Structure 1
Amino acid sequence: MMRRALASRAARALPRRRTPERGRLCALALLLACGLAAFTGCAPTGGKAGFDAGQAQALWASFAASSADAPQSFSLSASLSIQSPQKSARLLVKFWGNLERPLRLDLSSGMGQTFAMWREDSLGWLAVYPLSSQAFTHKDTKAALGRLGMPIPLNLKELAALSAGRYSTLLPAAFKSVRKTSTGYEYTFGATSVFSSVTLDFEGKPIHIVGKGVEPWSVDLGDFAAAESGRKPLAQRIQLTTPGGLQVVLRVKKLELSPEAMTDSSLELPLPPQARHIPLDRPGDFRAPDLP
């Protein structure tokens, strides 16, 4: 009797033979489960719960919209701190010009002594350094600054756009994907953009921009001033950080925007006849001016 009971229990424990109908049902259930998992994986996700696609789209639409009274020119005064593993300096900045160029930027020491005068237009970059009696030229501002030991991944036009809040001239009109973070929504861009992503806070202000590269660089925006009538709030602090350890912080003291373009005469930078002219887009040895 005991043997028959054990045999009966063992038989019940054995898996039932799968019929063709049962196999088809199992396969269908597995296929549906995989499809649901794939669909869920494609949905926008982020580091914080409560992703709101409508809010993310509305913030982007407001951010990307061009102002009806977009400025044509600007003038600002600021302080600039430069920190790197090799050097550090604090300078005063005067930056002015047309947002579509030409642009002028003067750097001076805290005592008011002019250190450098830069000019950028559609043809390239010119820099005059009175203390060393040198004048540098290059077709590309970023490449020129790299040769001078300041690998800043922004030219003057891009810096002007950041300062004046003309983000639509920097970033693509559409984003590729978006995710929610603890500080806002991070929008990423396609392969053709030189920028990797921008993060908008929950009020729609751009607070973090990431550039592309083997090791990406970033720009942090903060200390936003109260918005003027019909205009968006502008960052009073622009901080650039590069993978090589260079950190540049621009603190805006005064910014004026104008709907009219500046005259060419107010943006000229004559090449001093006594200065040594050094084309940085050609090979050759030179001594880069030391920071004050």
Structure 2
Amino acid sequence: MSRLGPTLVPAATLAVLILAVLSGCATRIPPGMELDTPKAAWTAFRQHYCARPEGDGLRVRASLYYSRTKPTKRTNRTLISLWGDFGGPMRLDVSASIGTLLAHIREDRSGLLVFYPEDNRAYAHKNPVLGATRLGMPFPFSLDTLAHALAGDFSGLAPRRYAEASVEGGNYVYTFSRGQAERIVLDRLGRPVRLEGRTVRSVEDAGRWVFTLDRYEDAGPDQIALPDKLTLAMDNGERGVLHIKSREPMLAPWPAASLALELPGDVVPIRLDNGYADGQTGELPVIREDKQ
């Protein structure tokens, strides 16, 4: 990594910066334009990848490959469906490759609700991130933040301003003094390829996460490319690789019934924010692994 010193600015980038100065605001940078200064790349990132997504919500179908190394080595491959309204309720269904539903998840302002149909048990937590962690799903951010990222909006993770910028290989690296992401790597087109940060838990046990994005789809003129492969890795060895199969913006809010998670009449959610642990095993259920 090298600190940025005086840089020769190419004509195209220089023209963009001059227009920005003359207009008194940030001129829109066309998607797909190669940028040879970190400032221009950051401006492009903020314009293209920190803007409200198209529509009121989305629907995503993907395959998820999960692996961990502690306390025992485990791997599994599942299918997920994520749908919901931006800033509103989010639903996530997890199923085995043969189609058997393993878990139904709902996130809203009241917290997280998870139902395991095979066990006929449900769990709830007022904090979606901590609730998912207690259930063996160490998401460092909420489903809503993940949904925004899948739609190409990283504003929930990226601070507005960076503290320092540097060059690493062919990419630009930005560090931050505050915010959930501590380090962001952009390519020469201003596209995010790596975000790093800490979980929202207390400082004493805060874990680190790395969010890697690649396989950007081909985009037409003036279209913003989105990544088809997203990898989330934790410093405890857990890793999830998400391969996008379909991604659909919803131009109208989802009907309330489509976002509801109705539990069987005999199921009462077990609160995970009351210090609950299974008295027999000392563990909480996790989504079933296919392999060990």
Q: TM-score normalized by structure 1?
A: 0.78
Q: Report the Cα distance in structure 2 between the residues aligned to 1:279 and 1:68, rounded to whole angstroms.
A: 33
Q: Report the Cα distance in structure 1 between the residues aligned to 2:221 and 2:144, rounded to whole angstroms.
A: 25
Aligned to 1:147: 134
Equivalence map 1:1-292=2 (5 Å):
46=2, 55-65=37-47, 67=51, 70-85=54-69, 86=72, 87-191=74-178, 193-212=179-198, 215-227=207-219, 230-286=222-278, 287-289=284-286, 291-292=288-289
> CA shift at 1:230, angstroms?
4.7
> CA shift at 1:150, angstroms?
2.8
Tell which deviates more after alignment, 229-238 or 125-134: 229-238
Residues 160 and 190 of structure 1, relative CA distance in 2, 3 Å threshold: same
Letter of the aligned partner of 2:238 in structure 1?
L
Give structure 2 stretches of 5+ with no counterpart. Answer: 10-35, 200-205, 279-283
Aligned length: 247
Q: Report the Cα distance in structure 1 between the residues aligned to 2:102 and 2:153, rounded to whole angstroms.
A: 28
Per-residue CA deviation, residues 26-62 of structure 1 (Å, 9 max, x unaligned), is xxxxxxxxxxxxxxxxxxx727988568721111111
Contact 1:47-1:181 within 8 A present in 2 as well:
no
Contact 2:51-2:155 within 8 A present in 1 as well:
no
Q: Report the Cα distance in structure 1 between the residues aligned to 2:155 and 2:51, rounded to whole angstroms.
A: 10
Contact 2:53-2:153 within 8 A present in 1 as well:
no
Tell which deviates more after alignment, 243-252 or 274-283: 274-283
Contact 1:71-1:260 within 8 A present in 2 as well:
yes
Per-residue CA deviation, residues 220-271 of structure 1 (Å, 9 max, x unaligned), is 0011112256541111111011010000111100101133322222111112
Residues 179 and 209 of structure 1, relative CA distance in 2, 3 Å threshold: same
Residues 52 and 131 of structure 1, relative CA distance in 2, 3 Å threshold: farther
Contact 1:126-1:138 within 8 A present in 2 as well:
yes
Q: Secondary structure at the match of 1:62?
A: helix
Letter of the aligned partner of 1:98 in structure 2?
D
Q: Which has more helix, going by share of residues?
A: 1
Residues 68 and 271 of structure 1, relative CA distance in 2, 3 Å threshold: closer
Aligned to 1:32: none
Q: Secondary structure at the match of 2:269?
A: strand
Residues 197 and 84 of structure 1, relative CA distance in 2, 3 Å threshold: same
Q: Secondary structure at the match of 1:111?
A: coil
Determine which structure has greater relative contact order: mean sequence separation of CA pairs < 8 Å that are 6+ residues apart, divided by chain length.
2
> CA shift at 1:147, angstroms?
1.4
> CA shift at 1:146, angstroms?
1.7
Q: TM-score normalized by structure 2?
A: 0.78
Residues 89 and 47 of structure 1, relative CA distance in 2, 3 Å threshold: farther
Q: Report the Cα distance in structure 2 between the residues aligned to 1:239 and 1:261, rounded to whole angstroms.
A: 28
Give structure 1 stretches of 5+ with no counterpart. Answer: 1-44
> CA shift at 1:141, angstroms?
1.7
Letter of the aligned partner of 1:78 in structure 2?
A
The two structures, once aligned, show a CA RMSD in angstroms of: 2.3
State the identity as a percent: 28
Letter of the aligned partner of 1:141 in structure 2?
P
Q: Secondary structure at the match of 2:37?
A: helix
Aligned to 1:22: none
> CA shift at 1:98, angstroms?
1.0
